[in-house]
A and B are shown apart, each in its own frame.
Chain A
């Protein structure tokens, strides 16, 4: 009873690999490593050759070894599987929620209920579910404009996200943020940023706060980690490198998750990047760089657990490159003409939801009926979210000028109308000069 994934892994390399523009003579490493096609085993790459390195890092367990070991053991039908039934159901439900929600967004967009820029996450659910389900409520997630599913996985209610997309006042940001700016103070979703690369320093700052709280404010049990999600295009941006440097320098509890779906709007990753293997950029800065198959939620989950444990222990950052694929275009306005249909078809066969379903059924973790029940439940959740959003009111006119400042009246004026600095409470402190 071998794992369902091994069957999928033997699919041929996608045709576009042969017309790729990489030049094998440039780097001897590249030609021997089949980067496309994604039948990868995990490739841990911790810093080991840099003799002057003063940083001790625990290397990441090669998940492929774990998977192989568990596969051989499970041949005797003993439950030595990667997940328990409960965990499997949680993962499945989260991925189904992400998929159903995004599909509904597309429908609503074409019916005119949603507008502006909408970037959908179909196909990448394994990354969001695999990583974010390892986090506590106090941990932070920072994302890009493709952030609906990150917010959902972190715990923001579907109806709040849907209302936000409709621009209603009951949305998670009262309709003031929109698709690309999902914030939640309660669930520690620190955005939703439209500029690629912008979220990475913000995430690094949240990790800095975590470390500061532990070391300066002496909150000894503060082990909050932060995850920064971004794409392959962002891995060429200056801010990414600045933050890799500072995170490794100060050993911040952050995980940099690259969702490499190989396309940045219409720019292929290979055309844009001198060395397309993004995970190698980690060791250059002194942190482990890991590559994982992002269409396989179980593998992603294993890597995530190790990376989160590393960060919580205080061992510092990790760079994880997830090779994944988006089934739809960059946004709902993207005609998606540049991608090879054969490539899309290939990845459609590697749908992470189908793969998990197959794994769980073949390993007798669940009955098909249970999964169907989950799908039905999620459909109802998403329908209810749409109804809620439709029924919600649009923001009132006075909301236009609200929330510019945290100061209720802005400008240093307290609610009672006087200047804050005249209030003795504002200026008192325990300063020792």
Chain B
């Protein structure tokens, strides 16, 4: 497949080597580590929680199976033994109830980390995330802030069906008063979770189940217990000069030259626009549904700020506009794959295929 791309490159005025490098990126990162140490995303999250709970006794974890079961996805492994059942609270199956309890305790001075087994279940608690967490600082004119973190796996896993596979980034990112973060690598996971827990505002922390087991190299700085990443700043994984590709969470692994958004709300419009002004072309990639999605917001932002710099219409890659099917081959078609990103980048660069027909 890579051979085919190389042939097509020929005349377009784009450097051939740059197109060669579009391939699943996860394994490629290994060659770029400097400290030689690697960490899975799961360990990164676990160590971040451990360190934050150790540093501040007001931080506690609440959710289903976070305690004795060691976490539904083992993210909270070992925390119960270390901190006891008052700080690692197993709840009954009551998302609305315990999300609300978390918010109420945050109103009154604690710093909860509420785990949803997946963000699909957060819909049962979404009233509390939006109405009593996100809006409270505004409604009370700053008297009551809510230093809470809602975290859990978001988006599709493998073969879990329609009710367990939706991506909620766009839903939460459309609400003022929330900060929405979507880490990709272990460094992202550690830094952003620590920043989220220390942040005085409600944060929705969207992880991805398939990334939990992935290993990434981490530098010594990342392993330090005071490592934090800024909220609202995207990371340019590798700069390119032909097309800007933006992605978050699992999709970052599908494109090497990509802007890893890290933060969906606030969106780092400055970085995205600066990149587009250099490359003049944009492809946005996300797992969620196209309509009203993150990609739609990025496209509009770029049109508003950098319209004159665009040489081609913006390309939006998103999940198929259907509830996620179960059959493995259909599921594969329902989410963006590497080939889709390649095709979109090609269209942005060459306009070889008219856009409308491709649906």
A181, A193, A202 interface centre (most CB from chain B within 10 Å): A202
Interface residue B339 (Cβ < 8 Å from any Cβ of A): no
Residues of A in contact, count (CB < 8 Å): 67
Interface residue B253 (Cβ < 8 Å from any Cβ of A): no
The reply to whether A208 and B54 contact each other, CB–CB distance below 8 Å, is no
- Would A412 and B199 be within 8 Å (CB), given that A183-B140, A428-B226, A429-B225 are in contact? yes
B108, B109, B230 interface centre (most CB from chain A within 10 Å): B108
- Would A205 and B100 be within 8 Å (CB), given that A176-B141, A190-B108, A412-B195 are in contact? yes
The reply to whether A212 and B100 contact each other, CB–CB distance below 8 Å, is no
Interface residue B188 (Cβ < 8 Å from any Cβ of A): no
Interface residue A110 (Cβ < 8 Å from any Cβ of B): no
Contact mask for chain B residues 99-121; partner A; CB cutoff 8 A; 1 contact, 0 none:
11111111111100000000000
Give the residue of B56, B132, B176, B195 whose beta carbon is less than 8 angstroms from that of A404. B176
Closest to A224 in B: B108
CB proximity of B97 to chain A, nearest CB, Å: 3
Interface residue B320 (Cβ < 8 Å from any Cβ of A): no
The reply to whether B231 and A242 contact each other, CB–CB distance below 8 Å, is no
Bound CA–CA A213/B108 (angstroms): 10
Closest to B55 in A: A429
Interface residue B232 (Cβ < 8 Å from any Cβ of A): yes
CB proximity of A327 to chain B, nearest CB, Å: 28
The reply to whether A198 and B131 contact each other, CB–CB distance below 8 Å, is yes
Bound CA–CA A245/B101 (angstroms): 12
Bound CA–CA A432/B144 (angstroms): 30
CB proximity of A18 to chain B, nearest CB, Å: 38
Interface residue A217 (Cβ < 8 Å from any Cβ of B): yes
Interface residue B86 (Cβ < 8 Å from any Cβ of A): yes
A residues less than 8 Å from B57 (CB atoms) = 216-217
Contact mask for chain B residues 214-248; partner A; CB cutoff 8 A; 1 contact, 0 none:
00000000000111111111000000000000000
The reply to whether A433 and B47 contact each other, CB–CB distance below 8 Å, is yes
Interface residue B15 (Cβ < 8 Å from any Cβ of A): no
The reply to whether A173 and B139 contact each other, CB–CB distance below 8 Å, is yes
Bound CA–CA A243/B105 (angstroms): 14
- Would A403 and B86 be within 8 Å (CB), given that A201-B101, A429-B55 are in contact? no
B residues less than 8 Å from A405 (CB atoms) = 137, 145, 177, 179, 200-201
- Would A209 and B109 be within 8 Å (CB), given that A142-B104, A411-B266, A430-B54 are in contact? yes
The reply to whether A238 and B106 contact each other, CB–CB distance below 8 Å, is no
The reply to whether B201 and A407 contact each other, CB–CB distance below 8 Å, is yes
Bound CA–CA A174/B96 (angstroms): 29
Bound CA–CA A205/B100 (angstroms): 7
Interface residue A420 (Cβ < 8 Å from any Cβ of B): yes
Bound CA–CA A213/B232 (angstroms): 33
The reply to whether A216 and B142 contact each other, CB–CB distance below 8 Å, is no
Bound CA–CA A210/B86 (angstroms): 12
Closest to B106 in A: A205
B residues less than 8 Å from A191 (CB atoms) = 132, 136, 139-140, 144
- Would A411 and B231 be within 8 Å (CB), given that A421-B195, A430-B55 are in contact? yes
Contact mask for chain A residues 155-195; partner B; CB cutoff 8 A; 1 contact, 0 none:
00000000000000000011111100101111010111111
The reply to whether B101 and A217 contact each other, CB–CB distance below 8 Å, is no
Interface pairs (24), CB distance under 8 Å: A173-B139, A177-B141, A183-B139, A183-B144, A190-B108, A190-B144, A198-B132, A203-B104, A208-B104, A209-B104, A243-B100, A245-B94, A246-B94, A246-B97, A249-B92, A403-B141, A404-B137, A407-B199, A411-B232, A412-B230, A412-B231, A420-B198, A427-B227, A429-B54
Q: Which residues of B contact A (CB under 8 A)?
A: 47, 50-52, 54-58, 60, 86-87, 91-92, 94, 96-110, 127-128, 131-132, 136-145, 147, 176-177, 179, 191, 194-195, 198-201, 225-233, 266
